[in-house]
Amino acid sequence: MTSQDSFPTPTTIQDSIIQVTSKPKIRPSPCVNFSSLPAEIRLVVWKLAIPEPRILRMCIPRDKARVPWTYSTSSPSIPIILHINQESRTVGLSLFTLNFPFKRKQCRPPPFRPALSTYWNPTRDTLYLPDFHVPEGIAVDVAWDAVDNSDACLPNDDSLIGGKFHHHNLMAMQHLALPWNTKVANGFDARSDPESSTGHQCGGEWMPRWLLGFPSLRSVTFLLEPSSLCYRPGGIELYEPKDARELHEYDRDMPVWFADSVPFTLDDLAVLIEWKLKVFTQNQIPNIQIKVPRHGKTRKTVPFCVTRSRSRRS
């Protein structure tokens, strides 16, 4: 019997309907249980399920009455991969590190520190310190804090109010974001004194030394924050200034002001920062980027938890 004998050419609409309904149905292949897959394939799937790189906004209390070693982030939720099963949790814990106490946790004096509550991936996530200002003229040795497992006291710090910042939590940090403001510009000795007739530059050079103190640092992103940008607990996205202009977040033709005195273009700004870093080291310097922050979709800030189904609640 030929194929033409099996499915004769229809001559009417009724014959066409009969032919379609009479065709044998294709049965779906049986579903393969995920746990029965080879371990190598399961590990690949778990790694593909790792969250995309995130921008974690670190908040440090300004109030002196607050405990100085408390932190909070814009994304304290626990990655879902840590809650699926034991195998996924093992893969997740190999990539995520638990640091930075959440400010809502009950704070107690050392050695009873508040519980760590923020999971972050040092190789992918970027820590954004929007209000961080390292004091000028103060020798900040990050390695000393890591070796002694103590806190490096930063006096005269506008954001920490003389508090203590856990530098040893940042030793594995590879990506850092800082706001481009007058204080940071002073740290690169790039502010011109308007009262000086010779145009001498003033400010310290503590910023390159401070950045180079983090041994794992691979990139530093300086953010041009629009004046209309206000904080809300949502996802933070970074854009190139030319793209942000289309989003009405930043005017690309507007010059970047160094310490409210000297205008620089964005390209000149990045080159100047790289040159300042190369003065203090012969090793490879972090990659310098200039971007504009923008809030994306609002994320849940409560930790993810697994609850029992209603049918089992009895």
For the stretch 211-262, pLDDT in tens is: 887 889 999 999 887 654 455 556 788 888 766 554 444 444 444 444 344 4
Give the whole-angstrom CA distance, residue 96 versus residue 79. Answer: 9
For the stretch 267-292, pLDDT in tens is: 788 888 899 899 888 889 999 998 88
For the stretch 191-214, pLDDT in tens is: 544 444 444 444 457 788 778 878
Nearest to 247 by CA among 235, 237, 232: 237
Quick check: helix, strand or coil at residue 82? helix
List of residues 6+ apart from 53 with CB closer than 8 A: 121, 124, 125, 126, 175
Q: Is the pTM of this model over 0.85?
A: no
Tell which wins on pLDDT, 166 or 163.
166
Give the whole-angstrom CA distance, residue 148 versus residue 168. Answer: 9
Confidence of residue 101 (pLDDT cuts 50, 70, 90): low
Tally of CB atoms within 10 A around 21? 7
Q: What is the mean pLDDT of residues 9-22?
A: 57
- The CA-atom distances, in angstroms, between 274 and each of 16, 89, 281, 284, 293 are 73, 39, 11, 10, 21
Cα 312 to chain centroid, rounded: 38
Amino acid at 313: R
Confidence of residue 168 (pLDDT cuts 50, 70, 90): low
Quick check: helix, strand or coil at residue 234? strand
Judged on CB neighbours under 10 Å (0-12, 13-18, 19+), 238 is: middle
